[in-house]
Amino acid sequence: MKSALVVIDFINDIVDLKGKIPSCAQQVIACNTIKHANSAIAWARKNHIPCIFIKVGFNNDYLDLPRHSPMFGKAESIGALNLKSWGTQFHQDLAITEDDLVICKPRVNPFHNTQLDSVLRANAITDVYFCGVSTAWAIQSAVRDAHDRDYQVHIITDACAAATEEEHQSSLTMLSRIATLHSSKQLKE
């Protein structure tokens, strides 16, 4: 068994109250989600488990923006998710370093049109631990896809958040059928 930790979308536009689309900011703050994510990151580093940081974003000209998408279609008009902006920088409290691998994704799913699967396979990863936002969107999409790619999937529940606690819990209930749920305190060496 070889593991990796995938940390998804802890970017300012989504998790900071000053972000352009702060859909998860209230819950991230209320539940100390970044603190729990940092505990997971510390656990991974202590155990020589690679950390892969994922962020959603689009080029400055928004040519890669899916304009028909109800979720992303208005990003350009409000200046959201621009890869050259503060909004797609990782939140200042997240324990990321300049040496960490960062993968930019153009859609909800971190496997879609990215090198994530190639990185995992190149490192013979069998178990993938996920944390991030939103539990109802990016985490659900990532977990379902990873499951179908035959990875053993794990979710660090307190290091994830959604727009509401109900949305978060509902997502975890669904995903518990294909993933093992852990709190950051339950992670073992």
3-class SS of residue 123: coil
How many Å apart are CA 39 and CA 61, to the nearest integer?
A: 36
pLDDT in the model for residue 189: 58
CATH architecture of 3-186: 3-Layer(aba) Sandwich (3.40)
Is residue 62 within 8 A of residue 69, CB to CB? The reply is no
Structure token digits, residue 125? 């990863």
Place of tokens 């994830």: 160
What gap in Å lies between CA 21 and CA 138, rounded to an integer?
15
Mapping DSSP to helix (H, G, I), strand (E, B) and coil, where does residue 88 land?
helix
Annotated domain spans of the chain? 3-186
pTM of the model: 0.97
- DSSP designation for 77: H
Nearest in space to 146 (alpha carbons), one of 110, 96, 92: 110
Q: List per-block mean pLDDT (blocks of 10 residues) for the chain, which spans 189 residues.
A: 96 98 98 98 97 98 96 96 98 97 98 98 98 98 98 98 98 98 90
